[in-house]
Amino acid sequence: MGIRLLLYLSAILLGAFISYKGKISDKILDKLNIIQTLSLLFLLLIMGIKIGIDEKVIYSFFSIGFKAIIMSIFTVGFSILFVFIIRKLFIRKENEIES
């Protein structure tokens, strides 16, 4: 995990450094959103393939898929709710004062 984290951080920092120094032309920057979206959709397609070829995922989905969906809906739902409460209580006010 440590090496992975370092690699991800390096990729972000490298991108930030290059664009901060203005080494990327406006022409490329204009196309950045399209390239980014296409790369993202391609990556997600491959991630889907990885899930689809994994027999463990497909087999277990047919047996306990309903339970997994319920569990994930509640974990996602409560995570959103708690961040919403935190933002309302602590974060938003600070931003409003600043702006």
Partner 1 sequence: MKLSLNILISVGLGILLGYFVLPPSISGATDIVIDAGLMILLFFVGIDIGRHQDVFEKIKVIGFKILLIPFAIISGSLIGGIVGGVILDIPVKYASAVGSGMGWYTLSSILLSNHSTEISTLAFLSNVVREIIALITIPLVAKYIGKYEAIAPAGATAMDTSLPVIASSTDSEISIIAFITGVICTISVPIILPLILNL
Q: Which of 3, 6, 34, 79 binds partner 1 (CB under 8 A)?
A: 79
Nearer to partner 1, 27 or 94 (CB): 94
Residue 31 found at the interface with partner 1 (CB under 8 A)? no
Q: What is the closest distance, in whole angstroms, from the C-beta atom of residue 27 to partner 1 in the complex? A: 14
Query: Would residue 22 be called left, alpha or beta, if left means φ above 0 and alpha means ψ between -120 and 50 degrees?
Result: left
Helix axes 55-86, 26-53, angle to 10 degrees: 130
Name residues contacting partner 1, limited to 54-73 (CB under 8 A): 54-58, 60-61, 64-65, 67-73
Distance linking the first and last C-alpha atoms of the chain: 38
Q: Minimum Å distance from CB 44 to partner 1?
A: 4
User: Which of these, 4, 3, 26, 6, lies nearest to 14 by C-alpha position?
Assistant: 6
Q: Which distant-in-sequence residues (6+ apart) come within 8 Å of 18 by Cβ?
A: 24
Within 1-20, which residues bind partner 1 (CB under 8 A)?
Answer: 1, 4-5, 7-9, 11-20
